[in-house]
Structure 1
Amino acid sequence: MKYKIAVFFSLVFLLLSCKNDNQKRIAENKKEMQRREVIFTNIEKGWVFYDTPVTEASEKSIASWNEWRIFLAELAQKPKKTIGAFQKKSEALSKKVMALNDNIPFEYNKPQIKSRISTLITKVRLLDLFIHLDNIPDKKVTLLVSEINLELVSLQRQMDKIVEKSKIPLEEGESDLLKMMDTTRAIPNTPIIDPNLPRVE
């Protein structure tokens, strides 16, 4: 009899504890859903890119620089509905920004532009990394979006400076001076050996 009572109480205890676990699990799931909704709304509000050219040079480069045009078009399309859509978008942005290094137009193929592209690539890849974390840092993601915007403006202004600089006419003799400063055209600095000097072998 005592054995039956003990089994009965242990079954009742087990059922009550399972019920409490289910309630705890439901409450935790609810909190997790609310937290994800907050993260989603924060990212959705902060996901605003400067997808239109800021400078005249940048606008003209869209016609000749296909990768730049594709990257700006990708920035213009804002994802909707889920975090998964933002993750896919950041992945696509990461691929498109890597392509910017491939076919830089000759006039922009300069260290100033390349360094800004490298910085832009780093920021976009960081965005892709942070948005794919299990616990997404929404503040970090929105901060990276604003930093990417600053890099975009910096890159476009540098393009404009290069175009403006190319419009300045060269002074007389300046082209000869530039040729003389070109290290690729320099005579190699090897010692001249006099064939008349005795050699030790």
Structure 2
Amino acid sequence: MKYKIAVFFSLVFVLFSCKNDNQKRIAENKKEIQKREIIFANIQKGWVLYDEPVTEAGEKSIASWNEWRMFLAELAQKPKKTIGAFQQKSKALSKKAMALNDNIPYEYNKPQIKSRISTLITKVRLLDLFIHLDNIPDKKVTLLVSEINLELVSLQRQMDKIVEKSKIPVEEGESDLLKMMDTSRAIPNTPVIDPNIPRVE
């Protein structure tokens, strides 16, 4: 009899403990869902990327630089419904940003532009990394979005500077001076060998 009572109480205890665990789990799930909704709302509010060229050079380069045009088109499409949509968008942006290094137009194929493209790629890839974490740091994601915007503006302003410099007329003789200063065209310093001096071979 005592054995049956002990079994009965242990069963009751197990059932109540299971209910408590279920209630705790449900409460934790609700907190997790609320946390994800807050993160989603913060990311959605902070996801404002400059998808329009801000300078004249940036606008003109759309016609000649296909990768730049495709990157800006990708920036223009804002994800809406879920965190998964933002994750897919950041992955697509990362691919398009990596493609910016390909087929840079000749007038922009300069170290200043390449360094700004590299910085932009780094920021976009960091965004892709942070948004794919289990615990998404929403403040860091929105900060990276603003940093990407700054890099876009910096890149386009550099394009504008290059275009403005190319409009400056070259003075007479300046091209010859630049050629003379080019070290790759210099005559190498090789010792002059007198053909009359006997040589040991």
How far apart, CA to CA, are the structure 2 residues paired with 1:20 and 1:6? 21
Which sits farther off after the overlay, 177-186 or 131-140?
177-186
1:14 to 1:68, Cα distance in 2 relative to 1, 3 A: same
User: Offset of 1:172 from its aligned partner?
Assistant: 1.1
Residue-by-residue CA offset, 1:56-96 (whole Å, 9 max, x unaligned) = 01100000000000000000000011000000000000000
178-187 or 23-32, which deviates more: 178-187
Counterpart residue number, 1:143 = 143
Deviation per CA, 1:105-135: give whole Å up to 9, x if none.
0000000000000000000000000000000
> Within 2, Cα distance between the matches of 1:68 and 1:85?
22
How far does residue 196 in structure 1 lie from its aligned partner after superposition?
4.5
Q: TM-score, structure 1 length as denominator?
A: 0.96
Displacement of 1:198 in angstroms is: 5.6
Q: Which runs of 5+ in 1 are unaligned?
A: none
Q: How far 1:195 moved relative to its partner?
A: 4.5
The unaligned stretches of length 5 or more in structure 2 are none
Whole-angstrom distance in 2 between the partners of 1:189 and 1:124: 48
- Residue 41 (str. 1) matches residue 41 (str. 2): yes
Structure 1 residue 197 displacement after superposition: 4.7
CA 2–172 in structure 1, closer or farther in 2 if over 3 Å, else same: same
Change (3 A) 1:26 1:168: same
How much does 1:102 deviate?
A: 0.5
- 1:200: Cα distance to partner? 6.5
Task: Provide the rounded CA distance (Å) in 2 between the counterparts of 1:112 and 1:79.
Answer: 32
1:118 & 1:157 partners in 2: Cα distance?
Answer: 16
Residue 143 to residue 190, structure 1, CA distance change in 2 (3 Å): farther
Q: Mark the CA change 1:194 to 1:19 in structure 2 (over 3 Å): closer, same or farther.
A: farther
**Secondary structure, aligned partner of 1:128:** helix
CA distance in 2, matches of 1:168, 1:6: 97
What's the CA shift for 1:177?
1.1
Q: Indicate how the Cα distance of structure 1 residues 4 and 56 shifts in structure 2: closer, same or farther if over 3 A, else same.
A: same
Aligned residues, how many? 201
Give the TM-score normalised by structure 2: 0.96
Report the alpha carbon displacement of residue 193 of structure 1 after superposing the two structures with TM. Answer: 4.0
- Among the aligned pairs, what percent are the same residue? 91
Instruction: Summarize the alignment of residues 54-93 of structure 1 with structure 2, pairs less than 5 Å apart.
Output: 54-93=54-93
SS in 2 for 1:136: coil
CA RMSD of aligned residues (A): 1.3
Give the whole-Å Cα distance in 2 for the aligned partners of 1:52 and 1:125: 21
Residues 44-66 of structure 1: CA deviation (Å, up to 9, x unaligned): 00000111000001100000000
SS of residue paired to 1:170: coil
Compute the displacement of 1:187 (Å).
2.3
